[in-house]
Chains A and B, each alone.
Chain A
């Protein structure tokens, strides 16, 4: 029975993607284009060349981490909607520290910058966790409010104290020693070890949740705070802790964007990637491995959509596909009912049960 439910939790998102592609192809037909052509262009845009593939991986990296942030929160029974703000705070403070590490060698500067990003993300989410534990304030409300604070704080920093140059408000670049090394550079797109760091984060999250007493306590509190308290587990400590871990993952996403991609803080750095984390966690069923695949899916849809745009098909089709996938995964009863029905029909034909 457990095996069946595991197979199902993998099947549901896959079926959801297929159904979404099907529905979107009807829409593409309705706007007078050829869906097969559109998908071919999209696939080519995401994976067609080394450059495209590199671009997809670069786009996937922060999405894995924000997906893990939200997914970890879900597993702990908290709804962290603030990955966006935590990512911004992580990026902002990673920049501030990274700017001043010119004299520090990379093997120290890189971990320090990453750590600062995680720490700020953890603190930012921890505030919401602390408020929930001490006053009962709901984390959905507080993290949304903290998102705005982070957003305007970031904008202010690059508009005034940290502002350099003209045009888009931006901070100075971080020191070369705090940047991630480039593995390969394809036509101005740099692939850094960021993706490896994101995957390691997923493995650590899996280990933490499934193999440690900390994970045991965090999940216990998420499922049933009363029984947890009865079992000697401190509910308030674990609420703060799980928010902090969740925020640290989002903060790391911000730090890596600075260290590997932009090399500075910009107001538009997060650009909704924190919110994408919610969809990705849902599609990935809050499982670290599932989240990696879900992030890759969304990442490749995003790069593929640009190619589609050049071919004259609105790239917003991708938003429709993403929307339908999330709808079907969130309302997974729909897909499950369809699966049950298929199974029922099969059984009926095998056993010959009367309708």
Chain B
């Protein structure tokens, strides 16, 4: 005799959901209760089983055990078609839009408006416009997807679900790709949707966002639910502890340190982007031993080109770069590495690792031609393996098996492997480009600690990040980039998020401090 419960006040109930993959228990008797008309967060580290759970709700996966109730009624969801009919919509982390079609065409794709046999574009445009105005999801319905920003593309994805009649929206890490401003706009939209009675499931691991926008929180760890919290009655520390299973330092402690002599000097640097337009416009700064210089800014304001120019991956049009007093302008990456430069690249899968290579091969990238890894052109596999095992141990790369190809490691462990490789080569100057992008809080804490350790060892560090939190908690000095120029230099203890935010939006320090804006 199973007890019958009344779930009618819940938009979604998932009871005892269990999902096994070969070798992994992705969801272990997970219960989820989402009330009608609330914003409900599912938080957890990468691999906690959040996306797996949601994919079962959306019909992309089928639970091995457990039941799903939508608005109180038990349902079987065999595929996304069933989910859509039940009023469930999902916005994935990676957008599924046709780049060459317009916004309106993308929204109606699959259930096109028709006039006889023909596609009725006018009707499609009208309905998409109407929807976008209703929820404040402003988009240009005639713009092609390839011409609009990531934030706008996300709106199109949300519109798509609404157009198909979604009452329950699943947003899978929607802010991972957004700027702080775009995130704020998304939250505005989410509030509007909630007001009009929609239920939103918000998957995230950014605790400040969860605190700001949600009503209730379900915390997951290693496939299990570890906590059910009311947002108004909890705090980030508690959530973090439930997520990671131990106390986490959300902000690492930094000892004061007197910087030493100059390691990096950049003078009047000009660099072009891939399209041949100026991306870095006459930038100058210095980094000293034992100092972290943070570069804040919205993505796409020349940071990538700046990093590539300093590390020898992109041609410097004019200006100079000095490392330890030596002119290294347009040196090759190999020469720069020989001089003690290490680089934790922004895109770890594109630049940082060769995914098809074993871990132990990746552990020597950049020093593969030198002893003790290579003598007279012949690799010493034993020394390579020993080194890999050592750094895997030191930097806690899991699983602890360097024979696993880098592509099979999780994002956090890929980043740890890069960090391990770069930090173990005795750097004089280190360049960290978005070192914690897409990582969960446990890994972030680990990487932050190591960056500070490097600083305390006397290494000069340039830190590029889109996360203001990260810039503030690590940097000794902050410069802000906007459209390829430096808008001002600040000390973290003498400024705040708002001031830096204004510089990121293109205001100069003088304007901000004199109260013009």
A and B interact physically: yes
How far does the Cβ of A219 sit from chain B's closest Cβ, in whole Å? Answer: 8
Residue A7 is within 8 A (CB to CB) of chain B in the complex:
no
B343 interface contact, C-beta 8 A:
yes
Q: Beyond A217-B368, A220-B365, A232-B334, is A227–B350 a contact (Cβ under 8 Å)?
A: yes
CB B398 to nearest CB in A, in angstroms, measures 15
In whole angstroms, what is the CA distance A229 to B345 when docked?
A: 12
CA distance A175 to B311 in the complex (A): 56
Q: Write out the residue numbers on chain A whose beta carbons fall within 8 Å of the beta carbon of B374.
A: 213
Q: Counting CB contacts under 8 A, is B497 at the interface?
A: no
The residues in A between 212 and 246 inclusive whose CB is less than 8 angstroms from any CB of B are 212-217, 219-220, 223-224, 226-234
B side interface size, CB within 8 A: 28
Assuming the contacts A213-B369, A220-B354, A220-B365, asked whether A229 and B333 have C-beta atoms less than 8 A apart, the reply is: yes
Cα(A229)–Cα(B336), bound, Å: 12
Closest Cβ–Cβ distance, residue A221 to chain B (whole Å):
9
Distance (whole angstroms) from the CB of A344 to the closest CB of chain B: 11
Q: Which of A2, A211, A217, A232 contacts B332 (CB 8 A)?
A: A232
- Asked if A228 and B332 make an inter-chain contact with CB atoms under 8 angstroms apart, the answer reads no
Stretch at the interface among B156-164, B316-324, B375-383: B375-383
Q: Is the CB of B379 within 8 A of A212?
A: yes
Q: Determine whether the beta carbon of B350 is less than 8 Å from that of A224.
A: yes
A228 to B368, CA, bound (A): 11
Interface residues of B in 453-467 (CB under 8 A from A): none
Which residues in A have their C-beta under 8 angstroms from that of B332? Answer: 232, 234
Interface string of B322-358 (1 = CB under 8 A from A): 0000000000111001000001010000111111110
**Chain A positions within 8 Å of B345 at CB level:** 230
Closest-CB distance, B281 to chain A (whole angstroms): 25
Q: Would you call B377 and A227 a contact (CB within 8 A)?
A: no
- CB neighbours of B353 from chain A (8 A): 224, 227
Q: Is B227 engaged at the interface, CB distance under 8 Å to the other chain? A: no
| Residues on the A chain within 8 Å of B361, using CB | 216
B403 is an interface residue with CB less than 8 A from chain A: yes
The answer to whether B136 has its CB under 8 Å from any CB of chain A is no
CB of B438 within 8 A of chain A?
A: no
Chain A residue numbers with a CB within 8 Å of B404 are 1-2
Q: Check B368–A211 contact: CB distance below 8 A.
A: no
Q: Cβ of A233: which chain B residues have Cβ within 8 Å of it? A: 334
Interface string of B375-419 (1 = CB under 8 A from A): 001110100000000000000000000011000000000000000
Residues of chain A touching chain B, judged by Cβ–Cβ distance below 8 Å, are 1-2, 211-217, 219-220, 223-224, 226-234
- List 27 A-B pairs, Cβ < 8 Å: A1-B404, A2-B403, A211-B379, A211-B381, A212-B378, A213-B378, A216-B361, A216-B368, A216-B379, A219-B357, A220-B365, A224-B350, A224-B354, A224-B355, A224-B356, A227-B352, A227-B353, A227-B365, A230-B311, A230-B345, A230-B351, A230-B365, A231-B333, A231-B368, A232-B337, A233-B334, A234-B334
Given contacts A227-B351, A227-B354, 13 further A-B contacts (CB under 8 A): A2-B403, A211-B379, A212-B377, A212-B379, A217-B369, A224-B356, A226-B350, A227-B365, A230-B311, A230-B333, A232-B332, A234-B332, A234-B334
User: Interface on B for A, CB 8 Å cutoff?
Assistant: 311, 313, 332-334, 337, 343, 345, 350-357, 361, 365-366, 368-369, 374, 377-379, 381, 403-404
